[in-house]
Structures are given as C-alpha cells and as structure tokens.
Amino acid sequence: MTAGPIVFTRHGMVRGARAAVPLIIGLVPFGVVTGIACQGAGLSLLEAVLMSASVFGGAAQLLVLGNWASPAPVIAATLAAFTVNLRLLLMGPVLSPWFDRLRGWRLWGSLFLLVDQNWGLALKEMNAGGRDAGWIFGSGLVMWLQWVVLTAVGHTLGAVLKVPPGHPLFFCGLAVFVSMLAGMWRGRLDVVPWIVASGVAVGVSLLWPGTFYYIVAGAIAGSLTGAIRDTWRA
C-alpha cells in the first residue's frame, strides 16, 4: 500500500496517461460500435459526441441506445444507467487512500474519469506503493479523449454503412455485459442469483415491453438473492 504523503502532480498524470495507452487499442471496437449505435438511434454527430463526453460509460450508453425511443425515456434510462453503474460505488472506496486526500476538481475530475480499466491499473499502482493520485486522472483523461474521438468515428461510419437494426454488430452491447459477468464468477453458488435475476428480468420485460424496468427488477432480485445466499453460507 501507499506510504508517505499523497500528492497530485503533472508527472503522475503523464505516467498514468502512458500506462493507459495499451488500453486504447482494446477499446477501439467498443467505442466505434457505440458511435454506430448513436447514429442508428437517430442522434446527430454533435449529440453523439456530447453523450460520450458527458456520460463516459460505454455499458450504460449501449444499454440506453439499445432501447432508444422518441420521445426519449429520460427517467427510465437514467434509472437503468444508474443501476448498471452501481458497481462504481464499490470500486471507488478501494482507492480511498488516494481519493480521501483530494479536493475540488482533482477529486471530482478523477471520479468522473474512473472506469473499469483504469481502476484496475490504478489499484495495481497504489498497491505497489504509488503516492501520486494524478496517475488516475491522467489515465482517465487519455481514455476519455479516445472515447469521444471513437464515438465520432463510429457515427461517421454508421452514416456510410447504414447498419440495419438487429445487425450482429450490435451484439457488442450484450457481449460487454456477458464478459463483465464472466469476470465476476466465484463458484457454482453464483448460478442461483444469476438465474433469479435473469428470470425476473425476462418476466418484467414481457409484462412491460419497451421499458428499462426489467433491468432494475433483475438487478434488485439478483442482489437480494445473493445477499440471502451469503447470509445462509455464513
């Protein structure tokens, strides 16, 4: 863990930015598909860029874009995105040795730029004794800039290719959630809350088609089942 005072320097930001460069390669298809999804949902190039710049959450964006309608379901979409991003409430405190010593734009900027990929790298850096909290801001800033640019590129490609709804390319959104789920596997008992969550989600989607309520219902049902399971095991 860290030893000594926590600092926030330009040098740390540069080191974080350099460390995040390899992540950009892996995020290229994800960002491009998000841009194509924006174009397919009817968003203009400016709207797509503003969405990626302000949300900066690929999983949440694809979730909303996959259920886009006119007029936009603002409240339901916000609630669904909030549910998907609840994992950040658990990820952020892990980096509290850095975050607790930041104030103002350094703190809020770092939290805004926190995503799964640079969180993992920052945790490794912190556990190795890193004391420069500028590291996570720099790494996140590079990824944010890349995300905005790739969204614009994807939107432009979508306008040229005219990808129809239901195209296999849009499976990328579901693939993201499946890959996240696979990384959380801890053993056979995880199957129980997963089955409950999926069953409730399917049921609610049939009762209220075209809404985001199935996501919230599935998340709550799965979480409660997991809590009951852990209590029983204890």
Tens digit of each residue's pLDDT (9 = 90 or more) over 27-49: 888 888 889 888 888 889 999 99
Residue 185 has pLDDT above 80, yes or no: no
Question: What's the number of domains the chain is made of?
Answer: 2
Look up tokens 């609630």; give the residue.
79
Q: Which helix (H) or strand (E) holds 14?
A: helix 10-40
Residue 98: both structure tokens together: 């850095």
107/159 same-domain check: yes
pTM of the model: 0.75
The answer to whether residues 35 and 62 touch, using CB atoms and an 8 Å cutoff, is: no
Please identify, among 171, 196, 221, the residue that sits at the C-terminal boundary of a domain.
Answer: 171
Looking at residue 190, what DSSP letter applies? G
- In terms of residue numbers, what domain contains 190? 185-234
Between 227 and 107, whose confidence is greater?
Answer: 107
Decide if 132 contacts 11 (C-beta within 8 A).
yes
| 24 and 117 part of one domain | yes
Residue 2 lies in a domain: no
Considering the domain architecture, whether residues 200 and 114 belong to the same structural domain is answered as: no
Q: Which residues lie closer than 8 Å to 151 by C-beta, 6 or more apart?
A: 31, 34, 35, 38, 48, 49, 51, 52
User: Is 176 within the bounds of a domain?
Assistant: no
Decide if 132 is inside a domain.
yes
Name the band, by pLDDT with cuts 50, 70 and 90, for residue 127: confident
Instruction: Determine, yes or no, domain membership for 117.
Output: yes
Could you say which of 144, 171, 198 is where a domain stops? 171
In a domain, 205, yes or no: yes
Residue 156 tokens, joined: 């432009």
Q: For the residues 149-153, what does the mean pLDDT come to?
A: 95
Nearest alpha carbon to residue 63 among 159, 187, 150, 172: 172
Model pLDDT, residue 166? 66
Q: Is the domain of 110 the same as that of 224?
A: no
Same domain, 205 and 95: no
pLDDT tens for 55-67 read 898 878 887 887 7
pLDDT in tens, 50-100: 999 998 988 788 878 877 766 767 777 777 778 778 778 878 888 989 999
